[in-house]
Amino acid sequence: MNNSAESKPVSPWSYKPWWCQPWSIVLTGVTLIGGSWLLLHIGWLTALIAVPVLTWMGFFVLVWPRLMAQIDIDA
């Protein structure tokens, strides 16, 4: 018996385009942080760039999916 109430929840990533998937968010963040270091070799500037980028990555890869899992998408 397969009850629809017991079905597996849909991933919030299935509603996002390819450029807003976890792999693209992480790749963009690593590229920005690594690129700033490779281009400039200035530690404090790379750190200044890394803080908002890591915050953005952390929110959209870790926090946002958990928040979406709490919302009933079918309602």
Within a domain: residue 25? Answer: yes
Within a domain: residue 8? Answer: no
Average predicted confidence (pLDDT) for the chain? 88
Within a domain: residue 36? Answer: yes
Within a domain: residue 30? Answer: yes
Indicate the pLDDT class of residue 52, thresholds 50, 70 and 90: very high
Within a domain: residue 62? Answer: yes
Within a domain: residue 75? Answer: no
What is the Cα–Cα distance from 22 to 63, expressed in whole angstroms? 12
Query: What percent of the chain is modeled with pLDDT above 70?
Result: 84
Between CA 67 and CA 64, with CA 34 as vertex, the angle to 5 degrees is: 5
What is the Cα–Cα distance from 68 to 58, expressed in whole angstroms? 15
CB 20 within 8 A of CB 12: no
Within a domain: residue 4? Answer: no
Within a domain: residue 58? Answer: yes
Q: Whole-prediction pTM value?
A: 0.79
- CA-based diameter of the chain, in Å? 61
Domain of 64 in residue numbering reads as 18-69
Q: How many domains does the chain have?
A: 1
Give the type of residue at 61.
Answer: V
Q: Is the pLDDT of residue 1 over 50?
A: no
Indicate the pLDDT class of residue 59, thresholds 50, 70 and 90: very high
